Amino acid sequence: MADHAAPAHHRTVASVDGALARAVELATRGPAWGPNPRVGCVILAPVQDTADDGAVGPRVVLAEGWHRGAGTPHAEAAALAAAREAGVDVRGATAVVTLEPCNHTGRTGPCAVALEQAGVAEVVYAVADPNPVAAGGADHLAAHGVRTELRPTPAATELVRTWATSAAASRPYVIVKTAATLDGRVAAADGTSRWITGPEARAHAHEVRAAVDAVAVGTGTVAADDPALTARRPDGTLAEHQPLRVVVGRRDVPDGARLRTEAGGELLQLATHDVAEVLAVLAAREVRTLLVEGGPRLATAFLEAGVVDELHAYVAPVLLGAGPGVVGGLGITTIADALRWRTHDVRRLGDDVLLTARSHPSRPRPTSQEA
């Protein structure tokens, strides 16, 4: 049996909410990268007994499934396959899914149709599908007599947040990473920058690389730092997933550069300074999450374009007093026009601190055509 689909008819859950929590847990087994969201599905047996007060007792889990990445069965299809393999009848059952079942034929068939044809009587999902290409699953189910319920949960929403933002905006979710001193310098006056942050912060940065689709730097950073842009484990070996390595700018990447000589993700050079063009090319390649690592000119360009969704600011307890700053001029002349973010998390990494901030939800998110 495929390890992404499992019969679970020996298991019970206290409620639909319990099944939804389990579906989120299953979904996290799928990859954080790739064009598709992480989704989990739990199929519950029909209600058999109720207490005197009308409360529904524990529900038997008939099957479970999760999505393992592009080209593999979606979570609902995986759970249905597990049920079939185990000889379990799902007619009249409740399917609990972290994301609205798709209504689209792509690499795989539409999950809404699969659930309806399997005889499932009810579908509970936590997040409505924001992708206009695949949305409409709940409507299809309702039109074919299947009860549907949207039951939002913070955990399921967070699970697909970057993917949902990308799908809604028709561009990659953009994370800008900075590593600076307390006085906002990314390098010393002579241009040296290795290392401002300590090993714990650098290890975390590699974890982030291993979870995104692409990482981008400018040609200036290639010339100054000769980065490899690989994702590595603490022991120095390459991580399972390597992001697409994107170089933005018109200067060629030298033949002897580590980007050309070291193993890692595919190298893509975009000979442009147009952020909208960069995002359009990456969106066409189904890049959902882009990590912008350097340098200050590239970070400034993305900030000026208004397309940055998240900031990862690594701050080291170091003072330089001079040297290039984190970003260049943004055309801001008064505090009222400052770009403001919401602090999501503050984390200590050795002697350094990582501040993660997210774009304010009230701020418009330009598409790649509008940027």
Catalytically active residues are 76
Q: Quickly count: other Cβ atoms within 10 Å of residue 14's Cβ.
A: 12
For residue 312, report the phi and psi dihedrals to the nearest 5 degrees.
-115, 100
Sheet holding 310-316, edge to edge: 267-270, 244-248, 214-218, 289-294, 173-181, 310-316, 352-359, 341-349
Quote the CA–CA distance of 169 and 212 in Å, as a whole number.
17
Q: In this structure, are strands 341-349 and 310-316 parallel, antiparallel, or unpaired?
A: unpaired
Quote the CA–CA distance of 322 and 185 in Å, as a whole number.
7
Show the CA angle centred on residue 265, arms to residues 264 and 270, nearest 5°. Answer: 125
Find, among 95, 86, 90, the residue nearest to 42 by Cα. Answer: 95
